Structure 1
Amino acid sequence: MKIVSIAALALAVSSCASVDTFLNKADATDSPTATTQSINADKGLVTLQSNHSVQDTADKLVSMIESKGMKVFARIDHQKNAQSVDLSLRPTQVVMFGNPKAGTPLMNCEQTVAIDLLQKILISEDANKNVWLSYNNPDYLKTRHHIKGCDTELDNASKALNAVSTAAVAK
């Protein structure tokens, strides 16, 4: 039993060293954009870098969403909420929106997707003052909820999310 435990410990330590080496190598060779997008893709997120402040990006996003006939249900300013309890947080906002004509067919395919609807888009500022916009990749939702037979609906959601997000981060 001691040999197995020692071997497991050695494997764990060597794995940590390999991960650390990989992360340091990625930091040295990859741009912050590529690294962040890669990490967020693993989380099921689509991430775009914005050319604007968090406030301006969120304002543009809300305007684009409304111009496409979707409804903004909430805009949450997490930084302001943190300040209200004497805590600090870099600029961070979440815009929650949707359209029953788009969401209902997805829920009819697999009702559990309702937990991820309304759509949510996060706009946040990192420690280097870069602003990022992120949202759940519809392919992630397809996998997470085992959605079958709704490829058209998921493709439409993907196109809509891409359109409003790209417009919000553009110059």
Structure 2
Amino acid sequence: MIKTVSIAALALAMSSCASVENILNAPDKMPSTPETMTAINAEKGLVTMQSNHSVQDTADKLAAIIESKGMKVFARVDHQKNAQGANLTLRPTQVIMFGNPKAGTPLMNCEQSVAIDLPQKILISEDADKKVWLSYNNPEYLKDRHNIKGCDTEIANIAKALDGVSKAAIAK
């Protein structure tokens, strides 16, 4: 448990964010997802999509896509496995922390407090009905949370990158 917390703390301390260059240069390579599968929960500031795969397969696919786009996976936390280590039960739940300073640094230069929410994190979890969901912080929520001004292009690029890797990970 201490090792997992240390890895997560180290990953959170790193000031990086998703790279958008490779994704923006190849938007046609990203599979589309019907609008009915995407929901934005404004109250929680999350973008959530239903996956066509198990938690493990979605997380594996997401990590591979992230790395193929030139970003770094800093940590992968398997909360279910950690719960089992404490003799507790939890449905499959994983978080992938990833990023690239080329995207995160400009955002932090706009408002340094956003570093608390970087690197980017994507949650993949299974609900009580065995449906698998992928969720991440809506960049517009982070913009409001940190009162970021003058970085609309950076926010839009990060939103596009998160949407692209997420849709690719949940596609059939």
- Amino acid corresponding to residue 75 of structure 1 in structure 2: R
**1:12-51 pair list within 5 angstroms:** 37=39, 40-51=41-52
Q: TM-score, normalised by structure 2?
A: 0.77
Task: State how 1:63-82 maps to structure 2 within 5 Å.
Answer: 63-82=64-83
The list of structure 1 runs, each at least 4 consecutive aligned residues, that deviate by more than 4 angstroms after superposition, is: none
The aligned counterpart of 1:53 is 54
* Deviation for aligned residue 1:87: 0.1
Q: CA deviation at 1:63?
A: 0.6
Deviation string for 1:84-118 (max 9, x for gaps)?
01000000000000000000000000000000000
CA distance in 2, matches of 1:149, 1:107: 12
Q: Does 1:84 align with 2:85?
A: yes
Q: Show CA shifts across 1:35-91 (max 9, x none).
A: x936x3321000000000000000000011001100000000000000001000000
Q: Partner amino acid for 1:37?
A: A
Letter in 2 for 1:106: L
Instruction: Name which structure has the greater RCO, CA cutoff 8 Å, separation 6+.
Output: 2
Question: What corresponds to 2:160 in structure 1?
Answer: 159
Aligned-partner residue type, residue 89 of structure 1: L
Aligned-residue Cα RMSD (Å) equals 1.7
Indicate the residue corresponding to 1:144 in structure 2.
145
SS of match in other structure, 1:147: coil
Q: Which residue is 2:13 aligned to?
A: none
Q: Match of 1:37, SS?
A: strand
Q: SS at the partner of 1:42? A: coil
Secondary structure of the 2:39 match is: helix
Matched residue count: 138
Q: Tell me which amino acid in the other structure corresponds to 1:67.
A: S
Which amino acid in structure 2 is aligned with residue 138 of structure 1?
A: P
Structure 2 unaligned residues grouped into runs of 5+: 1-34
Percent identity between matched residues is 78
Which is helix-richer, 1 or 2? Answer: 1
Structure with higher Rg: it is: 1
Query: Given the two structures, how large is their TM-score scaled by the length of structure 1?
Result: 0.78
Unaligned runs of 5+ in 1: 1-32
Q: Distance in 1 between matches of 2:122 and 2:42?
A: 15
